[in-house]
Amino acid sequence: MKNVAQITVTFGILSTILVAAPAMTQNQRPPSVPRTPPNTVFGVTRQSGNCPSNVKLWTSLRQYEGGGEFTVIADTVAIAGAARLVRSTKKLAEFTAPLKSNFASCVGQATSKEETENLYSFQFRNRNVTFRVQLPPDTPSNPSEISYKNVVSSRPAIRWAIAD
């Protein structure tokens, strides 16, 4: 009987942790700009004007059983002023920032060819840079959602999760 009681208590504690874990991760602190250089670089395809050669992102992944959580911060401060969130849904976050004067004439874009990064894009036009995160449509086995979108240290910051 003593073993049954111990097993019951152990399963009770484990089930409480499993139920509480998703709620704990939803109350995470906002991301902060890392002290290290950005770890992802997109080349800019110029159509006209004076454009930066590339744009950079900080990307990080926190994997957990059943999925992963991605944090992305675009380093737009190097090429533009303070960003602001202009459009958002559970699958989309779009930020814009005024380009610095030396890049104000830029018309172009930057996207990644990498499968894990093709969700992120930059558009340069009308004296602004637009950074966009567009998650794919949900499938029964891979639902996803943006859980955080805001400006951190004048930069676009997004946290999103996907189940697998």
Q: Exposed, middle or buried, 88 (CB in 10 Å: 0-12/13-18/19+)?
A: middle
The pTM (predicted TM-score) of the whole model is 0.79
pLDDT tens-digit profile of 52-98?
A: 999 999 999 999 888 899 999 999 999 999 999 999 999 999 999 99
* Residue range(s) defining the domain that contains residue 121: 31-163
The answer to the question of residue 20 being in a domain is: no
35: CATH: 2.60.40
> Is residue 147 in a domain?
yes
Q: What is the pLDDT of residue 64?
A: 86
Q: Which pLDDT tens digit goes with each residue over 16-52?
A: 333 333 444 456 788 888 788 999 999 999 999 999 9
Q: Is 10 within the bounds of a domain? A: no
**Count of domains forming the chain:** 1
